[in-house]
Amino acid sequence: MSVSRRGFVRSVVAGSALAAASTTELFTALGTPARAASPPGDVVGKVSVGYQGWFSCPGDSAPIGGWWHWSRDRFQPPSPTNTTIVSWPDMREYTHGYPTAYPQLGNGQPATLFSSYDQQTVDTHFRWMQEYGCDTAALQRFNPFGDEGPTRDAMAQKVRSAAERHGRKFYLMYDVTGWTNMQAELKTDWTTKMSAHTASTAYARQNGKPVVCIWGFGFDDPGRPFAPAPCLEVVNWFKAQGCYVIGGVPTHWRQSINDSRPGFLDVYHAFHMISPWMVGRARTLDELDSYYTNVNVPDQADCAARGIDYQPCVMPGDLSAGHRRHGDFYWRHLYNMIRLGAQGLYVSMFDEFNEGNQIAKTAETQATSPSGVGIRALDEDGVACSADYYLRITADGGRMLKGQLALTPVRPTPPVVGGPPPTPGGNLAAGRPTAASSQNGPYPAANAVDANLASYWESVNGSFPQWWQVDLGASYGVGRIVLRLPAGWPARTQTIAVQGSADGASYATIAPAAGRAFDPATGNTVTIALPGTAARYVRLAVSANTAWPAGQLAQVEVYAATGQPDTPPTAPGSLSVTGRTASSVSLAWTASVDDVGVAGYQVRQGGTVVATVTGTTATVSGLSPSTAYTFTVTARDTAGNTSASSNAVTATTEPPAAANLARGRPTAESSHVQGYASGNVVDGDAGSYWESANSAFPQWVQVDLGASSTVGRVVLKLPPSTAWASRTQTLAVQGSADGATFATVVAAGGRTFDPATGNQVTLSFSARQTRYVRITVTGNTGWPAGQLSELEVYAA
């Protein structure tokens, strides 16, 4: 295969050959009225992640065979001399690992890798997406007419199933790299295969239209030699199919310089959404800021003027090249694109271990990386980071995009849950999450912990009292607080009390309100000695200021009396599901242990607390029927410390009474003709239908209910129009627990579909447990093929 965009990371230094235009200049030059951005949908207002799903291993049954994308020579196991990866995945949550020729991990365990072809791998990835706020996955699809086509086809179904189970959305992202017959074959692939997936409830839609992305038009690269005219024709063809079309375009698309060939502006402007590529373009915070000013701001203005949605690429940085700065690089990129007002974010990438810009769980230290081969772990710059750190940053970035978290340049996500232990005697407040009763203009609470004395927090003016607080991440005996204002400010006295809290809800006074004199002669610094009272949340209550009618703080430093936090509880153990209904899930776990006593437990669905209890059982209510939910539990002690999470469990709620269990579920078939694919039998549209290959009985169509379910009735339909004459199909109903071995549920017999009675057949049988329901057709008096418009499955 030709070099893909993953290898196309020719660095273009921000600002090089740029003729940067201001927003005003762009609006004036375009002379076109701007329309409002599209309303929120599955890509607008959402975090999308690029999903490769392209790793395979011998023995996983993938049609392509071998170590696909793990090795240069895919028929030999990956090793330090036969590899395509630069980062190592954290393998602890995969049920199946495949042995490699790498040395053992630093902890002595064998070096194994996962296969994307294992459904459990895809389910694990989509569970992470659910838990960490990744809304939508862009499934990468390269030329499917080569040897990887059958594997890619199967991966699309696996992704669809996982997205449906975990409440995520997905869409197809075609990469045209090396695709010689792209113009004709892309359309064929969509009409004959991929469009069937739009029947899924998990397929992403924007403005009511199924989403498709085309990546690679206009790049100045020999792997994408297409002229503008055929590219424009393809974009317009997809739009004519009723699709919302995203363009994955060069960084400098708007100016047709550097990575963009000239003559493509009409192509770029034909897209509904533009998503410029950024991987390999920036390595430092300064370069990200330069791209923001010189590229992203005018890009956004151009899109706004033309009624195009803007979805910039954001990236964690290349771990193997040391770009990440323990999360600060990723957060700066997120912050810049959100303050820009981008319509959505595209994270590159979820599982890109080949180029080191993955956010999926990654080896934390050399203990979980192959020994002596130089693969960098997440602690590569000396800062300990948990395996899920970049997923947690993504979750916080998504909250900031949606307005659930205040816009802040200071990363709120600690590298490890609860924050790393501070250096003994160090400032506990540095870089920690903050909050305030209010802020005046561009002076947010986070400025008081950013180490920049020129920035500061200021409350709204003329409205005392006000407060500012910091979350230390754990409970400390607080012994001293240092408050600072910018050195050049005139003297002033602020009346300030110090308060502390274990839970961020109930506060007690640590130091009473008193006048705190800030004098430029002594550095505008105030030190408040404290008695070592334990607190996780430290709040400064400001009730007066002699120089300005607001609370003002440029720097807040908090120091512990001992330098070390109280020990958090142990993680709850053995979390399990003890019961399910259509609207609830019941859970139980073993108790945590703590030196000062466990105060209670929080049940979490992803990052959201959905129940708080004092015992070791809980029932989470208000859930949707037939929906998969993943839960964890944490413990809190009486000092306000939070434990690590328990094991995760996933439970699917029961279906509602009289619900069609098959609606929107994954399907399969023995064959189909033209666009009459198996997905049509679960789309709820009686006018669409599945039709098998003609004159080739027997044929079958089946549905995967997602989990073993009680089944007692199936309803089979044909389009009700009188244009469909009466016919009798000889068919049988079969069931399976694993999709491999099927047993007969209803024996083969003639079933008459009569338009006078709605072209509908109902088959009832003794209730039984099954996951896969298959209809096998061996005859049809009206057409030489199997035909069904709907396959409905009910509990009774």
> What would the pLDDT profile of 186-226 be if each residue is shown by its tens digit?
999 999 999 999 999 999 999 999 999 999 999 999 999 99
* SS3 state of residue 6: coil
Q: Is 639 left (phi over 0), alpha (psi -120 to 50) or beta?
A: alpha
For position 636, what pLDDT does the model report? 82
Contact 390, 330 (CB under 8 A): yes
pLDDT in tens, 576-624: 988 777 778 889 999 988 876 788 898 988 667 788 888 899 888 878 7
- Mean per-residue pLDDT, 696-710: 91
* Residue 287 vs residues 220, 296, 452, 702, 775: alpha-carbon distances, Å: 22, 12, 20, 52, 58
Cis peptide before 349 (omega within 30 of 0): yes
Rounded CA gap, 335 and 314, in Å? 10
Least confident of 298-302, 384-388, 704-708: 704-708
- Sequence-ordered list of residues with C-beta below 8 angstroms from that of 225, at least 6 positions apart, any chain: none
Residue 340's pLDDT is 94
Query: Can you tell me the mean pLDDT for 239-263?
Result: 96
Q: To 10 degrees, what angle do helices 149-165 and 119-131 make? A: 40
| pLDDT beyond 60 at 26 | no
Residue 325 phi/psi, 5-degree rounding, is 50, 45
Q: How confident is the model at residue 10 (pLDDT cuts 50, 70, 90)?
A: very low
Q: What mean pLDDT is predicted for residues 451-478? A: 90
Q: Which of 245-254, 571-580, 758-767 has the lowest mean pLDDT?
A: 571-580
What's the confidence (pLDDT) of residue 502?
A: 83
Angle at 354 between CA 116 and CA 60, to 5 degrees: 25
**Cα–Cα–Cα angle for 710, 714, 718, rounded to 5 degrees:** 155
Q: Is the pLDDT of residue 352 over 60?
A: yes
Q: Which residue has the tokens 């921000």?
A: 14
Mean pLDDT (the chain) is 89
Q: What is the mean pLDDT of residues 540-557?
A: 96
d(Cα 622, Cα 584) in Å, to the nearest integer?
6
pLDDT of residue 566: 59
The pTM of the full predicted model, rounded to 2 decimals, is 0.57
What is the tens place of the pLDDT at every residue in 92-112? 899 889 999 999 998 888 999
Nearest to 417 by CA among 378, 446, 384: 384
Q: Does position 562 have pLDDT exceeding 70, yes or no?
A: no
Segment 230-247 mean pLDDT: 97
In sign, the C-alpha dihedral spanning 742, 743, 749, 750 is: negative
b/e code 745-769 from CB counts within 10 Å (16+ = b): bbebeebebebeeebbbebeeeeee
Residue 31 confidence (pLDDT): 35
Question: Sign of the C-alpha dihedral, residues 315, 321, 327, 328?
Answer: negative
Q: From 263, 344, 434, select the one nearest 45 (Cα to Cα).
A: 344
Whole-angstrom distance, CA of residue 121 vs CA of residue 129: 12
Look up tokens 């974010």; give the residue.
345
How many CB atoms lie under 10 A from the CB of residue 428?
23
Q: What is the CA radius of gyration of the chain?
A: 29
| Alpha helices by DSSP H, 206-324 | 228-240, 265-270, 285-291, 297-306
Residues linked to residue 538 through DSSP beta bridges, in sequence order: 470, 500
Phi-psi group of 470: left, alpha or beta (phi > 0 → left; psi -120 to 50 → alpha; rest → beta) = beta
Look at residue 760 and tell me whether its pLDDT is greater than 80: yes
pLDDT of residue 2: 37
pLDDT bracket for residue 684 (50, 70, 90): confident
Query: Would you state the pLDDT for residue 605?
Result: 83
**Backbone torsions φ then ψ of 270, nearest 5 degrees:** -80, -15
* Cα separation, 256 vs 430, whole angstroms: 43
Above 60 in pLDDT, residue 246? yes
Q: What phi, psi does 331 have (nearest 5°)? A: -65, -40
Do strands 273-276 and 508-518 pair parallel, antiparallel, or not at all (unpaired)? unpaired
User: Tens digit of pLDDT for each residue in 406-444?
Assistant: 888 888 888 887 544 444 457 888 888 888 999 998 899
Is there a cis peptide before residue 698, judged by omega within 30 degrees of 0? yes
User: What string of H, E and C letters represents the secondary structure of 79-134?
Assistant: ECCECCCCCCECCCCCCCCEECCCCCECCCCCCEECCCCCHHHHHHHHHHHHHCCC
Which pLDDT tens digit goes with each residue over 136-193? 999 999 999 988 999 999 999 999 999 998 999 999 999 999 999 999 999 999 999 9
Residue range 543-547: mean pLDDT, rounded: 97
Residue 283 pLDDT > 70: yes
**d(Cα 608, Cα 461) in Å, to the nearest integer?**
34
Length of the chain: 796
8 A C-beta contact, residue 518 and residue 456: no
Beta carbons of 316 and 393 less than 8 angstroms apart: yes
The count of C-alpha atoms lying within 13 angstroms of the C-alpha of 695, restricted to the half-sphere facing its C-beta, is 0
Are 457 and 524 in contact by the 8 Å Cβ rule? The answer is no
- Beta strand ranges found along 355-487 (DSSP E): 434-436, 457-458, 466-484
* pLDDT value at 299 more than 70: yes
Give yes or no for residue 36 having a pLDDT over 80.
no
State residue 229's pLDDT score: 97
State residue 34's pLDDT score: 35
Phi, psi (rounded to 5 degrees) for 391: -70, -40
pLDDT at 410: 84
Residue 627 has pLDDT above 90, yes or no: no
The half-sphere exposure of 161 on its side-chain side, counting CA atoms within 13 A, is: 22
Q: Would you call 32 exposed, middle or buried from its count of C-beta atoms within 10 A (0-12, 13-18, 19+)?
A: exposed
**What is the per-residue pLDDT across 268-277, written as a single tens digit (0 to 9) for each?**
999 999 999 9
Q: Residue 783 and residue 729: Cα distance in Å, rounded?
A: 9
pLDDT at position 597 is 76
Tokens 């049954």 label which residue?
A: 61
What secondary structure letter does DSSP report for 737? S
pLDDT at 37: 66
666: three-class secondary structure by DSSP? coil
Phi, psi for residue 105 in degrees, rounded to 5: -65, 165
Indicate the range of 144-153, 623-632, 722-731 predicted with least confidence.
Answer: 623-632
The reported pLDDT for the residue numbered 22 is 34
> Under 8 Å CB-to-CB from 442, ≥6 apart: which residues?
none
Q: What is the pLDDT of residues 314-334, one digit of tens each?
A: 999 999 999 999 999 999 999
